[in-house]
């Protein structure tokens, strides 16, 4: 298996056993009932465990559920964008079966559900340092709602069921749009939470290439004590100068929230200087909040420090993107 820093690993998930059992109980299906999916015949229990998405609801799933049931209350939900968005986040198949009861049979219900897709994880290692290994940095999805503990299909499977030397089906997802500069140019890396993962691969690569200096990491998470991922490794790379600069933001360690974009703001002048010297700018992590804030902050830095208009600053960012000097991997 060959990969490069910036690529992701796709991991095939297995749904939480307790959720599968609760769905079987709720529907009253015989667990041994045989159904046919794209990948052949199997029991409905096997289908729920390995082949169908049950921890996540998509718009398409809810639409199909409505088409089969014609339940008026569900029709109302589908026509209310805000409520539908709220429902989609943090609800699973068991929720919709409970909230919108219907007399299902296995063959009808499987037509509503999508195939269980593999989950992607940014690779946090360089093959030049770890050989045949693939490292991933996984945040385990666990949350409680309606007095029921919920577990993410893939992350909790990895955390709860996989032991050393167990086998897990994986594949490499190439990402040509998130790559280290071929010429060893300066890099500014911005990431929050598990968004730090590909930068560990970048630094391992720079170490393997014996390329010192020219690297600047901005990392943000909640707490210094519990969330400073790979702290010792960054410190080692700072010492060896493979990592030239590092700025960290722990949002919950003080009264007012401090995020990576605040650290960028504090370093405005130096950031524009690096960009002018040909630095590549990378952004990885949470799409909803952090990516938007960092994009906005970068634009402000270019505008304020460059003494140019918003339009010119936007052109500057577009040019960075065209030249592949601004790369994002957000999810
Ligand atoms: C290119 C790419 C790279 C990625 N890299 C990484 C990485 O390096 N590390 C990493 O950890 N992840 C990464 N992800 C995310 C990863 O692919 C999975 O989406 C993530 O691990 C969740 O998958 P899961 O199967 O565990 O959870 P799922 O079974 O998919 O459950 C997720 C669902 O749970 C619900 N949910 C989650 N948290 C809450 C909450 N607090 N409150 C209410 N509802 C909630 C939401 O409905 C959410 O859609 C990446 C994604 C992409 C696309």
Q: Compute, in angstroms, the gap from residue 189 CA to the centroid of ligand 1.
A: 22
Whole-angstrom distance, CA of residue 81 vs CA of residue 59: 10
Expressed in angstroms and rounded, the spacing between residue 242 Cα and the centre of ligand 1 is 31
Of the chain, the percentage scoring pLDDT greater than 70 comes to 100
Residues 6+ apart with CB under 8 A from 105: 29
In the chain, which segments carry CATH 1.20.990.10? Answer: 8-172
Report the pLDDT averaged over residues 301-319. Answer: 98
- Out of 3.10.310.40, 3.40.50.80, 3.40.50.970, 3.30.420.40, which CATH number does the structure's domain 187-330 have? 3.40.50.80
pLDDT on residue 330: 96
- Nearest in space to 23 (alpha carbons), one of 110, 90, 81, 144: 110
Tokens of 86: 């709220």
**Cα(122) to centroid of ligand 1, in Å?**
12
Model confidence at 194, pLDDT cuts 50, 70, 90, reads: very high
**Mean pLDDT, the chain, integer:** 97
8 A C-beta contact, residue 285 and residue 295: no
Predicted pLDDT of residue 119: 98
- Using an 8 Å Cβ cutoff, are 211 and 310 in contact? no
**Average pLDDT, integer, range 274-282:** 98
Q: What is the pLDDT of residues 25-43, one digit of tens each?
A: 999 999 999 999 999 999 9
pLDDT of 164 higher than 90: yes
Return the ligand 1 atom nearest residue 89 CA: 47
From ligand 1's centre to the CA of 307, what distance in Å?
Answer: 40
Domain spanning 8-172: CATH 1.20.990.10: yes
ipTM for the assembly: 0.99
Say whether pLDDT at 288 is over 90.
no
Ligand 1: residues with CB < 6 A are 8, 13, 55-56, 89-90, 119-122, 137-139, 141, 143, 152-156, 194, 197, 329, 331
Q: Are 187 and 180 in contact (CB under 8 A)?
A: yes
Average pLDDT of span 2-25 = 98
The percent of the chain in helix, strand and coil, each rounded to the nearest 5, is 45, 20, 35
Torsions phi, psi for 30 (to 5 deg): -70, 120
Calculate what percentage of the chain has a pLDDT beyond 90. Answer: 98
> 184, 210 in Cβ contact below 8 A?
no
In whole angstroms, what is the distance from residue 134 CA to residue 129 CA? 11
Tens digit of pLDDT for each residue in 102-145?
A: 999 999 999 999 999 999 999 999 999 999 999 999 999 999 99
Predicted local distance difference test score (pLDDT) of residue 183: 87
Residue 289 banded pLDDT, cuts 50, 70, 90: confident
Confidence band for 16, pLDDT divided at 50, 70 and 90? very high
> Whose alpha carbon is nearest atom 6 of ligand 1?
121
- The closest-lying atom of ligand 1 relative to the alpha carbon of residue 13 is 25
Q: Residue 151 above 90 pLDDT?
A: yes
Question: What residue ranges of the chain are covered by domains with CATH 3.40.50.80?
Answer: 187-330
> What integer pLDDT is reported at residue 312 of this predicted model?
98
- Phi first, then psi, for residue 128 (nearest 5°) are -70, -15
Which residues, listed in sequence order, are joined to residue 52 by a DSSP beta bridge? 115
């Amino acid at each position: 298996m060959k990969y490069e820093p910036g690529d992701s690993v796709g991991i095939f998930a297995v749904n939480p056993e307790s959720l599968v059992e609760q769905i079987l109980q709720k529907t009253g299906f015989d667990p041994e009932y045989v159904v046919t999916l794209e990948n052949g015949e199997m029991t409905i229990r096997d289908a729920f465990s390995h082949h169908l998405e049950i921890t996540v609801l998509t718009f398409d799933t809810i639409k199909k559920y409505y088409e089969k049931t014609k339940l008026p209350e569900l029709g109302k939900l589908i026509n209310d964008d805000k409520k539908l968005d709220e429902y989609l986040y943090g609800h699973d198949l068991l929720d919709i079966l409970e909230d919108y009861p219907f007399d299902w049979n296995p063959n009808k219900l499987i037509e509503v559900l999508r195939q269980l897709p593999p989950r992607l994880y940014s690779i946090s290692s360089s093959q030049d340092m770890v050989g045949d290994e693939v490292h991933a940095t996984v945040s385990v999805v666990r949350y409680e709602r309606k007095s029921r503990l919920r577990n993410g299909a893939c992350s909790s499977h990895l955390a709860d069921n996989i032991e050393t030397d167990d086998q897990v089906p994986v594949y490499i997802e190439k990402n040509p749009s998130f790559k280290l500069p071929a010429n060893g140019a300066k890099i500014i890396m911005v990431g929050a939470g598990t968004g730090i993962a590909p930068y560990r691969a970048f630094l391992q690569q720079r170490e393997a290439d014996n390329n010192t200096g020219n690297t600047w990491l901005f990392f943000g998470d909640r707490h210094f004590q519990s969330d400073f991922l790979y702290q010792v490794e960054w410190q080692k790379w700072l010492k060896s100068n493979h990592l030239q600069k590092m700025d960290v933001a722990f949002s919950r360690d003080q009264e007012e929230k401090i995020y990576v974009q605040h650290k960028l703001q504090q370093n405005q002048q130096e950031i524009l200087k690096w960009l002018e010297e040909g630095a590549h700018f990378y952004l990885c992590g949470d799409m909803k909040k952090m990516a938007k804030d960092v994009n906005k902050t970068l634009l402000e830095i270019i505008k304020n420090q460059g003494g140019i208009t918003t339009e010119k600053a936007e052109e500057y960012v577009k040019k960075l993107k065209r030249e592949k000097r601004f790369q994002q991997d957000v999810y």
